Structure formats: structure tokens, C-alpha cells
Amino acid sequence: MKRVRITVMRMAHYADLMERYENPIENACTLSVGQVFYAENGEKPQGLCESAWETLAPFVRELAAGGGNFFDGWMKDAHAAMLSCNDGFRPVSFLVEAVKEEP
């Protein structure tokens, strides 16, 4: 199986929606832009939140198995995907990509 790199690319924060709809919570997202995780054998990397993993897992597993070309050419790199977690108040965008093997 291929190693898959997961990079935090962007983090949004919708204070107006949070104020209007969200109950106060502790320990919101602790990720940071530029943070990198590696999925080995299609498994969830330590430190990646469960909610984000639920979104990323099918793509990570497909890339780990050598697949790609999601949605018929959506990405310039067929072995990558730009995805966001499902948090509507503070979504995080991730670049998920198969790590190219060294020659």
C-alpha cells in the first residue's frame, strides 16, 4: 500500500454562525495550517480528529490502494484530493495525496 500525506491547507472560522447556532464547546479544532499527517496502510494517523477522518478515510484508502482520479479528473493530480471536514462552523481543508515512491 502507498503512504498517504494529509496536509492542513486552510482553516475557516464562521463566528457569526457559531454565535447564532452553536452551543459553547471546549477543545474545538486543534489543527494548524501546514500541519502534516501520514496515513500508513490506509489507517487513521494519530492526532487527526475523528470527524475529519470520517470524511477523508475513503479517499485515503483509495489512494493507499493505488487508486485515484476522483470524480473523473477533478484534480490536476489524479492521485490527490482536496477535501474538507464536515464542521460547518470551522471547516478545515486538507490536501490528501499519495506519496510518490523514491526511485
The full set of domain ranges for the chain reads 4-98
Q: Is the pLDDT confidence value at 102 over 70?
A: no
Do 40 and 3 meet the contact criterion of CB atoms below 8 Å apart?
yes
> Cα–Cα distance between 97 and 16 in angstroms, integer?
33
Work out the number of other CB atoms within 10 angstroms of the CB of residue 95: 17
Q: How far apart are the first and last CA of the chain?
A: 16
pLDDT in tens, 11-63: 999 999 999 999 988 778 889 999 999 999 999 999 999 999 999 999 999 99
3-state secondary structure of 103: coil
Long-range contact pairs involving 26-29 (C-beta distance under 8 Å, separation at least 24): 28/90, 29/87, 29/90, 29/92
pLDDT category at 75 given cuts 50, 70, 90 is: very high
Whole-prediction pTM value? 0.91
